[in-house]
Chain A
Amino acid sequence: MFADLKRLDSGLLQELGGLRQWLDEVMSDPAAADIRAVPRGSFPMINLARTDDAVRVYVFAPGLAADALEISIQDNLLTLRGERPAAPEEEARVEFRRERFTGSFSRTIALPDGLDGERAEARHRDGVFEVVLPKREELKPRRISVQAA
């Protein structure tokens, strides 16, 4: 009897193991695998996009002037540092809500390999910094023409 239960048990466990594996495959988000991923709502928020010839990083840092964000790249790690100062304490000021981030921040994200940090460029507009990191030549998609025999 116990043997039967045990057998049932192990069968169930195996199935569960299979289920978990299946779930991991289906639910896995490539972004979640990044050890440097941060909880949502962190400041500044970051989006990444890819085109054929570059990776573009969008840094949503409202209230930061163009020179207030320090952007550095080492290998494939992009680090963003800066500060959004808090408003000075004033006696005449009555606070009702404080949701906006204040203070200094430092964030590092891993970028895809094969980017040319030397040729990176950054722009700033309406509180969004856009960093363009061109792909190295050898990694750009190439069209291979077929020659007539």
Chain B
Amino acid sequence: MSEMIKQPTREAEVAREQEPQERRRSALRPAVDIYERDHALHLLADLPGVTAESLSIEVNDNVLTLEGEIRLAMPEGATALYAELRGQRFLRRFTLSHEIDGEAIEARLRDGVLHLRLPKKESHRPRRIGVQAA
């Protein structure tokens, strides 16, 4: 998987990941895009087959956990012939920096793509300082 990460700015710390080793094996790691716009970080994650009911988004101690179970309507008695996607669930974790307002995170799931909006706290937004004429 190719990764293009802008090298460390303060905001990039948000994207530093935490993934305990024991869970990494059984879960798939979804591809994500992360960008900043309008005083918020946006995270897009590919979660095909995950439904609103099977998706869990948690923020705990500044760690954002995305976990989703893949729900496929496979008929009884089906046998796999070939599989590129091998696994039942997606899992990925990110450390949030404290400028993110954990209470104000918004999530939308559409066609298997999760869009998270993580707004920054008011106090962390850039302020424009007006220069007065002498």
A45 and B112 contacting across the interface, CB-CB below 8 Å: no
When C-beta atoms are compared, the residue in chain B nearest to A110 turns out to be B82
**Among B1, B15, B46, B75, which residue has the most Cβ atoms of chain A within 10 A?**
B46
B12-51 interface code vs A (CB 8 A; 1 in, 0 out): 1011000000000000000111111110010010111111
Number of interface residues of A (CB under 8 A): 41
Asked if B78 is at the interface (CB within 8 A of a chain A CB), the reply is yes
Number of interface residues of B (CB under 8 A): 43
B5 and A61 contacting across the interface, CB-CB below 8 Å: no
A58 and B72 contacting across the interface, CB-CB below 8 Å: yes
When C-beta atoms are compared, the residue in chain B nearest to A112 turns out to be B81
Asked if A149 is at the interface (CB within 8 A of a chain B CB), the reply is no
A99 and B78 contacting across the interface, CB-CB below 8 Å: no
Beyond A48-B83, A92-B38, A96-B41, list 11 extra A-B contacts (CB 8 Å): A49-B78, A49-B81, A50-B81, A51-B78, A93-B35, A93-B37, A94-B35, A95-B4, A96-B35, A125-B73, A127-B111
Min CB distance A80 to B, Å, is: 13
Top 5 nearest A-B pairs (CB, nearest first) are A127-B112, A62-B112, A127-B48, A60-B48, A99-B31
Partner of A95, one of B2, B6, B46, B71: B6
Q: Measured between alpha carbons, how far is A42 from B84 in the docked complex, in Å?
A: 9
Q: Measured between alpha carbons, how far is A51 from B31 in the docked complex, in Å?
A: 31
A61-74 interface code vs B (CB 8 A; 1 in, 0 out): 11111000000000
Asked if A52 is at the interface (CB within 8 A of a chain B CB), the reply is yes
Q: Measured between alpha carbons, how far is A41 from B2 in the docked complex, in Å?
A: 10
Q: Measured between alpha carbons, how far is A130 from B113 in the docked complex, in Å?
A: 17
B56-101, CB < 8 A from A: 71-75, 77-85
Asked if A143 is at the interface (CB within 8 A of a chain B CB), the reply is no
